[in-house]
Homo-oligomer: A and B are copies of this chain.
């Protein structure tokens, strides 16, 4: 199909598609004339993934790295997760104290040789922001966070598809990034549900 048809099918404007082509997110179509190229179903599927990454707040450069990982189905699953995390983690130059983050990571089963230091740095920064705000997470709540993270990761990694290397890569890379907003939204719904159960759903009446 031509680029106009690709735009119609995908719902993405032609100038945006051209931008993705220029940025190397979308592979070129097969050249059919000096100013025309032919696009196929894999371009439509790729556009859906690009939109999902961009909508999830992943920047263009990071999206390119994630897509590059998907395109290398021979890579090792453990490296792929690291590559996906590194791609969506902003590079930072500030030095951060890893002590508290390491302590939590060890509770997750972390060993010093097994993990990308970038994700540990992000955890350390997230903890520092709480600390800077003077906000203490009670120990039991932090334990609930750690347990939840471990259970989630176990369920996710237990379901890596085995039918093809490509499917496995896609699952591992996109599955580490895309469901984040689902998780946060579920937590907010759960907070409202549990607070309604604990504190009652309705405001005390003014007469009461």
Contacts and interface: CB of A to CB of B under 8 A. Distances in A.
A144 B186 CA distance: 11
Given A135-B178, A155-B144, A182-B145, A192 B114 contact: yes
Nearest to A203: B76
Chain A interface SS verdict (over half): helix
Interface string A126-153: 1101101111011011011111111111
Given A144-B152, A182-B126, A185-B123, A174 B133 contact: yes
B77 A129 contact: no
Contacts of A45: 134
B135 A174 contact: yes
A79 B195 CA distance: 9
Contacts of A81: 191-192, 195
Interface in A86-143: 101, 104-105, 108-111, 113-116, 119-120, 122-123, 125-127, 129-130, 132-135, 137-138, 140-141, 143
Contacts of A163: none
A56 interface: yes
Given A77-B199, A149-B187, A203-B76, A108 B176 contact: no
A115 B52 contact: no
19 contacts: A55-B132, A76-B203, A78-B203, A85-B192, A104-B189, A108-B189, A109-B197, A110-B192, A111-B201, A126-B182, A130-B178, A148-B151, A149-B189, A150-B193, A150-B194, A156-B191, A157-B194, A180-B184, A183-B184
Given A48-B133, A147-B151, A150-B190, 16 more contacts: A49-B134, A78-B200, A79-B203, A85-B192, A105-B193, A114-B201, A123-B182, A133-B174, A135-B170, A135-B174, A135-B175, A140-B158, A148-B149, A157-B195, A183-B187, A184-B184
